Homo-oligomer: A and B are copies of this chain.
Amino acid sequence: MTGSKARQILDMNAYRPAADGAAAADPALARRLANVGAAAVLFYDAPIQMVAGEGAWMIAADGSRYLDFYNNVPSVGHTHPAVVAAVQDQIARLNINSRYLSPVVDDYLEALKAKLPADLSNIVLTCSGSEANDLAMRVAARASGGTGFVVTRNAYHGNTAAVTEISPSAFKRGAPADHVAQVPEPDPALFGTADGAGLAEGFAAAVRQAIAELAARGHRPAALVCDSIFSSDGVHADPPGFLAPAVAAMREAGGLFIADEVQPGFARTGDHFWGFGRHGLSPDIVTMGKPMGNGFPMAGMAARPDLVAAFCEDVGYFNTFGANPVAAAAGHAVLRVIAEEGLQANAATVGAHLMSRLRDMAARDRRISAVRGAGLFIGVDLEHDGAPAPDLATAVINGLKREHVLIGAAGRFGHTLKVRPPLCLGPDEADIFADALERVLAKT
Copies in the complex: 2
Binary B-proximity of A79-109 (CB < 8 A = 1, otherwise 0): 1000010011001111111111111011001
Closest residue of B by beta carbon distance from A26: B101
Residues in B with CB closer than 8 Å to A314 are 171-174
Residues in B with CB closer than 8 Å to A294 are 95
Residues in B with CB closer than 8 Å to A59 are 94
Contact present for B134 and A312 (CB under 8 Å): no
Residues in B with CB closer than 8 Å to A49 are 100-103
A43 CA / B290 CA spacing, docked (Å): 30
> Does A41 reach chain B (CB closer than 8 Å)?
yes
Contact present for A318 and B100 (CB under 8 Å): no
Partner of A50, one of B92, B100, B109, B313: B100
Contact present for B10 and A316 (CB under 8 Å): yes
Contact present for B92 and A88 (CB under 8 Å): yes
B-binding segment of A31-39, A384-392, A412-420:
A31-39
> Does A47 reach chain B (CB closer than 8 Å)?
yes
Contact present for B101 and A37 (CB under 8 Å): no
Contact present for B99 and A42 (CB under 8 Å): yes
Closest residue of B by beta carbon distance from A162: B161
Within 8 A of B (CB), among A144-173: 159-162, 164, 170-173
Residues in B with CB closer than 8 Å to A128 are 126-128, 131, 319-321
Given known A-B contacts A39-B308, A39-B312, A47-B99, A91 and B106 have beta carbons under 8 A apart: no
A25 to chain B, nearest CB (A): 13
Contact present for A295 and B101 (CB under 8 Å): no
Closest residue of B by beta carbon distance from A165: B161
> Does A241 reach chain B (CB closer than 8 Å)?
no
A239 to chain B, nearest CB (A): 30
Closest residue of B by beta carbon distance from A304: B37
Contact present for B161 and A134 (CB under 8 Å): yes
Interface size on A, residues (CB 8 A): 102
> Does A124 reach chain B (CB closer than 8 Å)?
yes
A397 to chain B, nearest CB (A): 13
> Does A275 reach chain B (CB closer than 8 Å)?
no
Contact present for B122 and A138 (CB under 8 Å): no
Residues in B with CB closer than 8 Å to A106 are 28, 31-32, 35
A97 CA / B121 CA spacing, docked (Å): 31
> Does A117 reach chain B (CB closer than 8 Å)?
no
Contact present for A28 and B101 (CB under 8 Å): yes
11 A-B pairs besides A38-B308, A84-B92, A88-B91 with CB distance below 8 A are A32-B101, A41-B99, A43-B99, A53-B94, A58-B96, A61-B103, A79-B91, A127-B128, A130-B131, A159-B317, A171-B315
- Interface CB pairs A-B, < 8 A, 15: A35-B113, A36-B98, A47-B101, A49-B103, A53-B95, A78-B96, A79-B91, A87-B88, A91-B296, A95-B294, A96-B295, A127-B127, A172-B314, A173-B313, A297-B321
Residues of A within 8 A of B (CB): 6, 10, 26, 28-29, 31-32, 34-43, 47-53, 58-59, 61, 71, 73-74, 78-79, 84, 87-88, 91-103, 105-106, 109-110, 113, 121-124, 126-131, 134-135, 137-138, 159-162, 164, 170-174, 289-290, 294-298, 305, 308-309, 311-321, 323-324, 326-327
